[in-house]
Amino acid sequence: GNSVTQMEGPVTLSEEAFLTINCTYTATGYPSLFWYVQYPGEGLQLLLKATKADDKGSNKGFEATYRKETTSFHLEKGSVQVSDSAVYFCALGDAKQGAQKLVFGQGTRLTINP
C-alpha cells in the first residue's frame, strides 16, 4: 500500500537558518503530493502541493519539488522565522487506492529559536 516516510524530529534551528525536511513516498500509481502544517493550537493547513513529476509547489517561502526518480518531496525554506515553528506533515493522495484519501507521514516538529 501507499506510505510516506518523513525525517524524524524534532528539528531545532536558529532564525534565518536554511531548512530541509525530508519526505519520501511509496505509491503504486502517480500520486499528488502535499505538505500540511499544524501550528500550535490550530488545525492542519495545506501549505503546498504538486500533482505531477517535476512540479514545484511553493507558498510562504517554502518550496518542494516532486521527484519521481527518487520518490521524494523534500520541504525547503531559505530563511526560517520564529513564526514557522509548527509540525509539518508530508502527505500523498492516489486515486487508484479508491477514496481520495490522504496518507500522511508521522510529522516533523520544527522549533525556530530567535
104's grid cell: 500522511
Neighbours of 71 (CB within 10 A): 16
- Of residues 3 and 14, the one with the C-beta less far from another protein: 3
Residues that bind another protein (CB under 8 A): 4, 32, 34, 36, 42-46, 49, 51, 89, 91, 93, 95, 98-107
| 103: phi then psi, degrees, rounded to nearest 5 | -110, 125
Instruction: For the CB of residue 70, give the shortest distance to another protein in the complex, in Å.
Output: 21
Closest distance of CB 75 from another protein, Å:
14
Closest approach, Cβ 101 to another protein, in A, equals 4
Question: Rounded to whole angstroms, how far apart are CA atoms 72 and 96?
Answer: 19
